[in-house]
């Protein structure tokens, strides 16, 4: 009887552990996806669709392929090494990880101020709440997640459900906008116009800055490491890219359905024009909800990932990580409430953010073949080639952006 009871208890424990593991894997995918789908993501997609029309489908296709290359490289290397991105960078070149961490935190803070603003604007659009009051309410909700003893599991569930709501809302607007699907499919493979700049911007918006590390670092926190985890990690990274890409595709089609009817988007809020024209006043309110969901999930993702890069500076930061995340959100909210979007900080973040992906991915690729870091693991050649292409493309744009933006700081 005792042996039977022990066996049952072990089975229950194993079942619970497997459930937690599955939850963490799905949560990591949605954390990455919803971190990418912020207020800026909505605007980028609307602006490029209006400019390129159906040919933007080709940009999305190429960017998805490149996103997969970046994401699978980073997640595999983090998982196999069992180290966060900054520690891997430090192992490749001492001090590099700290430089990357500073860049990540500056970028994460600046974009989080924008994300907080997006949540306030979303509640204002949806319910008529004052933008600053809406921002404070949204920040309080985000903080509540990290007050939980099981903050990681709570975050996994919240980003998963909010991500699902985002998909449903955008799918509805896509359907009612009645896009020319045949033309979109044709131009996805046979574009009339090609814009390399758009491809690089979209790649950066999906896996640039802190975004590509959000899911990988979540897996580390959940204890999912080692070569034996590679199949699960591959599927999870593809799920994350798949969700973010599905949102992008549906939003592209929704915008295309509107602009193909000759409607000009409002430059100050292009995505809102799409929702309002497609579904009237209800559509405008729905846009408020979409903007709020995109903002709040990006607030969570930016704060969580930025602080994960600070853990290497001090054991105390690692021990009290949730309180640091709360402090990060509070600081972002205070800056937005009393200063606004902090223009200089946003310019600085934009200037350095373009250098983060080539720096970190380059370090990852160097680490992939370093036995001291990776042991006997052998990184696939095709992933290395993919990674090198992305490093070159994003480095060129990053240097170009830095040169353009630096004069604005002086």
DSSP 11-57: HHHHHHHHHHHHHHHHHHHHHHHHHHSSHHHHHHHHHHHHHHGGGHH
Burial of 209-237, coded b for 16+ CB within 10 Å and e otherwise, reads bbbbbbbbbbbbbbebbeeebeeebeebb
Q: How many domains is the chain partitioned into structurally?
A: 1
Q: Per-residue pLDDT tens for 2-28?
A: 455 545 444 544 677 777 788 888 888
Question: In this structure, is residue 158 part of a structural domain?
Answer: yes
Domain housing 155: 41-408
What gap in Å lies between CA 130 and CA 39, rounded to an integer?
18
Question: In this structure, is residue 347 part of a structural domain?
Answer: yes
Question: In this structure, is residue 254 part of a structural domain?
Answer: yes
* pLDDT given at position 401: 67
- Cβ atoms within 10 Å, residue 147: 11
Q: Per-residue pLDDT tens for 24-36?
A: 888 888 888 888 8
Q: What is the pTM of this model?
A: 0.84
What gap in Å lies between CA 258 and CA 275, rounded to an integer?
9
Question: In this structure, is residue 21 part of a structural domain?
Answer: no
For the cut 50, the answer to whether the pLDDT of residue 137 exceeds it is: yes
What gap in Å lies between CA 298 and CA 285, rounded to an integer?
20
The tokens describing 213, both together, are 């590390």
Q: CA 335: distance to chain centroid?
A: 22
Question: In this structure, is residue 96 part of a structural domain?
Answer: yes
What gap in Å lies between CA 28 and CA 17, rounded to an integer?
16
Q: Per-residue pLDDT tens for 282-322?
A: 888 888 898 899 889 889 888 999 999 888 888 888 888 88
Question: In this structure, is residue 91 part of a structural domain?
Answer: yes
Question: In this structure, is residue 7 part of a structural domain?
Answer: no
Q: What CA–CA distances, in Å, run from 184 to 44, 189, 279, 351?
A: 18, 9, 21, 33
Q: Per-residue pLDDT tens for 206-218?
A: 777 788 888 889 8
**Which pLDDT band, with edges at 50, 70 and 90, does 346 fall under?**
low
* pLDDT given at position 10: 46
What gap in Å lies between CA 186 and CA 273, rounded to an integer?
26
Contact 180, 54 (CB under 8 A): yes
Question: In this structure, is residue 266 part of a structural domain?
Answer: yes
Among 287, 8, 331, 24, smallest CA distance to 170 is for 287
Among 113, 36, 39, smallest CA distance to 343 is for 113
- CATH code, 165: 1.20.1740.10
Own/partner contacts of 392-396, CB < 8 Å, gap of 24 or more, are: 392/358, 393/66, 393/199, 393/200, 393/203, 394/200, 394/203, 394/204, 394/208, 394/354, 394/357, 394/358, 394/361, 395/355, 395/358, 395/362, 396/200
């Amino acid at each position: 009887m005792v042996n039977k009871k022990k066996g049952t208890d072990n089975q229950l424990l194993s079942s619970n552990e497997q459930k937690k593991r599955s939850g963490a894997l799905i949560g990591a995918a949605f954390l990455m996806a919803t971190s990418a789908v912020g207020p800026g993501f909505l605007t980028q997609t609307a602006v490029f669709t209006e400019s390129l029309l159906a040919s933007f489908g080709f940009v999305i296709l190429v960017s998805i392929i490149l996103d997969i290359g970046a994401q699978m490289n980073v997640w595999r290397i983090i998982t196999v090494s069992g180290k966060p991105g900054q520690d891997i960078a430090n192992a490749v070149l001492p001090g590099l990880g700290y430089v990357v961490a500073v860049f990540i935190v500056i970028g994460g803070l600046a974009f989080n101020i924008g994300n907080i603003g997006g949540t306030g604007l979303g509640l204002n659009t949806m319910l008529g709440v004052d933008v600053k009051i809406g921002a404070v309410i949204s920040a309080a909700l985000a903080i509540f997640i990290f007050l939980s003893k099981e903050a990681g599991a709570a975050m996994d569930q919240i980003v998963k459900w909010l991500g699902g709501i985002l998909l449903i809302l955008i799918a509805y607007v896509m359907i009612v906008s009645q896009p020319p699907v045949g033309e979109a499919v044709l131009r996805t493979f046979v574009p009339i116009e090609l814009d390399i700049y758009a491809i690089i911007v979209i790649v950066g918006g999906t896996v640039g800055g802190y975004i590509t590390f959000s899911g990988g670092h979540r897996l580390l926190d959940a204890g999912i490491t080692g070569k034996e985890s590679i199949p699960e990690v591959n599927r999870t990274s593809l799920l994350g890219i798949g969700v973010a890409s599905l949102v992008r595709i549906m939003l592209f089609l929704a915008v295309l359905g509107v602009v193909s009817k000759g409607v000009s988007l409002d430059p100050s809020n292009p995505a809102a024009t799409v929702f309002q024209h497609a579904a009237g006043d209800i559509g405008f309110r729905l846009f408020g909800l979409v903007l709020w969901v995109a903002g709040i999930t990006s607030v969570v993702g930016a704060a969580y990932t930025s602080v994960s890069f600070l853990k290497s500076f001090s054991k105390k930061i690692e021990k009290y990580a949730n309180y640091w995340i709360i402090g990060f959100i509070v600081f972002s909210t205070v800056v937005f409430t009393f200063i606004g979007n902090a223009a200089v900080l946003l310019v600085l973040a934009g200037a350095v953010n373009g250098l983060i992906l080539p720096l970190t991915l380059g370090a990852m690729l160097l680490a992939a073949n370093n036995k001291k870091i990776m042991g006997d693991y052998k990184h696939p050649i095709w992933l290395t080639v993919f990674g090198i292409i992305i490093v070159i493309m994003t480095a060129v744009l990053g240097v170009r952006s830095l040169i353009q933006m630096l004069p604005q700081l002086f």
